[in-house]
């Protein structure tokens, strides 16, 4: 069983991930800002860890994640504006990567954005900034010596997870339930031999574990 440190645990994907990991007997450390979030994450099976990604320093975050096997970064500004996006999706990701390296945590999973997100839609300047920040975050992580995986899900929805997806380095754009994004992250935790790769993800017809297992490089 793995010890997994989740940044963004109180978010919609994060909560699914906490429960799914805990149900499979993994140890979950869940970073959160507010006391009520800690109680909710604890009820889902996590060990709550108090911390604000926009205020903490690299050394403090490294000490909190020390001993973990995997860091999962699924934090995001959630449309809260350019400055918050820059602080969380941009600087926050860089800080988390630096902390993982300092703490000696080799495996880092990043939930990013599908390149076609928002295509043919009037999304505005804020969305353009979001996509730019996400790409820069991908580049920052991919340039490290960590055993990273960048997961780029399609349009997220709250439909019930089916446990079946389409996953690969380049696939047709589509929707995907948040529960199935979480299930894919669980599979990536359990398949450490899938590493240093970018995976696009949508709903589909293949069981999640099989979809991830087939991405292992020979």
As annotated, the active-site residues are 130
Q: How far apart are the first and last CA of the chain?
A: 24
User: What is 41-72 written as a DSSP string?
Assistant: HHHHT-EEEE--TTT--HHHHHHHHTT-SEEE
Q: For 126, phi and psi rounded to 5 degrees?
A: -60, -40
Helix (H), strand (E) at residue 125:
helix 125-142
Mode of pairing for the β-strands spanning 47-50 and 70-73: unpaired
Nearest-angstrom CA–CA distance, 38 and 172: 37
Handedness of CA 45, 75, 33, 159 (dihedral sign): negative
User: What is 94-119 written as a DSSP string?
Assistant: HHHHHHHHHHT--EEEEE---TTTTT
CA 13 to each of CA 2, 84, 183, 192: distance values in angstroms, whole numbers, following the listed order? 19, 19, 10, 20
């Amino acid at each position: 069983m793995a010890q997994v440190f989740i940044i963004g645990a109180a978010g919609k994907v994060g909560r699914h991930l906490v429960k799914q990991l805990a149900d499979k007997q993994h140890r979950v450390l869940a970073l959160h800002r507010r006391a009520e979030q800690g109680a909710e994450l604890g009820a889902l099976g996590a060990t709550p860890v108090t911390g604000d990604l926009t205020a903490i320093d690299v050394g403090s975050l490294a000490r909190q994640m020390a001993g973990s096997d995997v860091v999962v970064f699924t934090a995001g500004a959630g449309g809260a504006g350019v400055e918050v996006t820059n602080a969380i999706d941009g600087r926050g990701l860089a800080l988390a990567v630096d902390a993982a390296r300092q703490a000696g945590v080799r495996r880092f999973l990043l939930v990013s954005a599908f390149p076609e997100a928002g295509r043919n839609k009037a999304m505005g300047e804020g969305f353009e900034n979001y996509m730019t920040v996400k790409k820069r975050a991908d580049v920052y992580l991919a340039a490290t010596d960590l055993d990273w995986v960048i997961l780029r899900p399609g349009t997220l929805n709250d439909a019930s997870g089916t446990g079946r997806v389409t996953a690969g380095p380049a696939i047709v754009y589509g929707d995907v339930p948040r529960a199935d994004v979480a299930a894919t992250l669980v599979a990536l935790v359990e398949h450490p031999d899938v590493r240093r790769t970018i995976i696009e993800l949508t709903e589909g017809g293949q069981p999640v574990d099989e979809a991830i297992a087939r991405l292992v490089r020979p």
